[in-house]
Amino acid sequence: MAVALAAVAATTRSILLRDVDHRVDRLLTQEAGEFTNFVDQGVDPATGERFTDPRRLLEVFLERQYADPDEELIGLVRREGQGPAQLTQPRELSVRHPLHRDPAARRAIFAASGSTGTLDRRSGELRWAKVEVARHGDEPEAAFVVAFHPRAEQAKANDVFRILLAISGVALVLTTGIAWAVAGRILKPVRLVRTAAAQLTEQDLTRRIPVHGKDDIAALADTFNGMLDRLERAFAAQREFVDDAGHELRTPITIVRGHLELMGGATESAAEREETVRLVTDELDRMSRIVEDLLLLAKAERPDFIRPEPVQLAELTADVFVKARALGERRWELAEVADSEARLDPQRITQAMVQLAQNAVQHTVPGGRVRVGSRLTDGRIELYVADSGPGVQAQDAEVIFERFRRGTSRRGARTSGAGLGLSIVRAIARGHRGEVLLRPTDGGGATFVLVLEGQT
């Protein structure tokens, strides 16, 4: 703004100065023209004849003229051996050093070859125009000179410039003050957001920014709060996960330690020792399974978790069926197979299906029916394991897919696993941009279905 205001003031000044220049030019041309006319047509009022004496001509002309302010009209007549004699109108000027008191300037103008010019004297600029009357060698016989002192006019332009600068300065101070206040008001919510963000720590994500109004800042605060919600949830989930994992691992450790502390007593028989070793090995197996499952779940976040390749669904289903059959004495049935090719990760799909088959075995009695199959519905692939067990209770249907969550219908203490199986199945399904769904089996039992995209 300072630059713009200064530019405006400077431009105004130069326009005004150019104006003065033009005006002076016009004035000089006009006065010179009048004199030229008089030379051509004027007659001496005393004789009624044309002028013969240049001095008389100048005298008569000057008598009839009125000079403008800052203007001087002077007649100059050649004198042998010294500067020209001058004829002037008796008149005081406001300028400090007028031409009729400046013989050096008069001489210079009289001798100058041009008809107009500018004298840059120390006492001020002087613009002049000259009309010569007959020449005499180097110098004219006589000359009419009109001189103008533009200093006063230029001073007016400079006054305007200074006034403009002063006004600009005041305007600048005012606008700076207003801009400061307004920017402060606008940025206040931003500062609020910043302070709130600075006060957040990993431990305390509960702080929220108050949202007022409906402007962009409010939207920003809203977005920020939403992000905090997600962060808080993510941190909470993380903490919960670590808590659960720690808890799940602590139980087998406690059991192993208990058994080992009891070992080596004097009364211990070989059979007892064997039993202890079996129990301890069992718990260690369980621990390593949990750790492996956790590692697998952690890996599920990585982009190379699923490596799809063209797979014949019929073949894949048959493989899964063969592997599932080895899990326990059940009435295994290969219900149906989709005869199609798909882009899937066969290892991960098999892993998921085996988890489902394992669950089916855990929730059925020996001789119970378990069906494994695959089919195409609406262009999507469905792979399923349907058992004839007790099924999943309605209140468990959602939670069993979460990590470390087991159903409430479970009887007995810690017979089954850690509750990671279905989370692994879900991670594998989502890795294929699919889902795992729970449906009831006709005639009782649970059916878990992998619904996948990936058909080629």
Query: Which residues of this protein are in contact with Mg ion, per CB under 5 A?
Result: 359, 421
Cα separation, 277 vs 171, in Å, equals 92
Kindly state the tokens that stand for 267.
């009364």
Per partner kind, with CB cut-offs from 5 to 8 A, the member of ligand ATP, Mg ion, none near residue 446 is ligand ATP
Residue whose tokens read 């002028």: 51
**183 phi-psi bin (left φ>0, alpha ψ -120 to 50, beta other):** alpha
- Nearer to ligand ATP (CB atom), residue 100 or residue 286: 286
The CB-of-361 to ligand ATP minimum distance in angstroms stands at 9
Please enumerate, as own/partner, the contacts of 336-340 that have beta carbons within 8 Å and a separation of 24 or more: 336/373, 336/374, 336/375, 337/313, 337/373, 337/374, 338/313, 338/314, 338/374, 338/375, 338/376, 338/381, 338/382, 339/313, 339/314, 340/312, 340/313, 340/314, 340/376, 340/381, 340/455
Q: Does 286 bind ligand ATP (CB under 6 A)?
A: no
**Closest separation in Å from C-beta 313 to ligand ATP:** 22
The reply to whether 421 sits near ligand ATP by the rule CB under 6 A is: yes
Give the nearest residue (CB) to Mg ion. 421
420 binds, among Mg ion, ligand ATP, none (CB under 5 to 8 A by kind): ligand ATP
Complex with ligand ATP: residue 344 or 352, whichever CB lies closer: 352
The answer to whether 446 contacts ligand ATP (rule: CB under 6 A) is yes
Q: Nearest approach, Cβ of 435 to ligand ATP (angstroms)?
A: 15
Residues 363-402 vs ligand ATP: string with x where CB under 6 A? x-----------------------x-x-xx-------x--
Phi first, then psi: what are they for 38, rounded to 5°?
A: -65, -40
Q: Any idea which residue has 């300028």 for tokens?
A: 95
DSSP 202-263: SS---------SSSHHHHHHHHHHHHHHHHHHHHHHHHHHHHHHHHHHHHHHHHHHHHHHHT
- Residue closer to ligand ATP by CB (options 62, 300) is 300
Residue count of the chain = 456
Strand partners, 127: 118, 148
Q: Is 422 in the site for ligand ATP (CB under 6 A)?
A: yes
106 binds, among ligand ATP, Mg ion, none (CB under 5 to 8 A by kind): none
Cβ 191 to ligand ATP, closest distance in Å? 48
Give ∠ CA 46-48-50 in degrees, rounded to 5: 105
Task: Please select the residue that binds ligand ATP; options are 154, 317, 359, 374, rule is CB under 6 A.
Answer: 359
Q: Which one, 74 or 427, has the nearer CB to ligand ATP? A: 427
What, of Mg ion, ligand ATP, none, does residue 361 touch, CB below 5 to 8 Å by kind? Answer: none
Q: How far is the CB of 404 from ligand ATP (least distance, A)?
A: 8
121 vs 289, which CB is nearer to ligand ATP?
Answer: 289
Q: Is 140 in the site for ligand ATP (CB under 6 A)?
A: no
Residue 153 or 387 having the CB closest to ligand ATP? 387
Closest residue to ligand ATP in the complex (CB):
417
Among 93, 306, 349, 360, binds ligand ATP (CB under 6 A): 360
Question: How far apart are CB 436 and ligand ATP at their closest, in Å?
Answer: 11
Minimum CB separation of residue 318 from Mg ion in Å reads: 23
Who's near 331: CB < 8 A, 6+ residues apart? 367, 368, 369, 370
367: left (phi over 0), alpha (psi -120 to 50) or beta: left
Pairing of strands 369-377, 331-334: parallel
* Alpha-carbon span 17 to 83, nearest angstrom: 34
Of 32 and 424, which CB lies nearer to Mg ion in the complex structure?
424
Distances (CA, A) of 73 to 65, 86, 98, 425, 435: 8, 10, 11, 111, 107
Check binding of 58 to ligand ATP (CB under 6 A).
Answer: no
Residues that bind ligand ATP (CB under 6 A): 359-360, 363, 387, 389, 391-392, 400, 406-407, 410, 416-422, 446
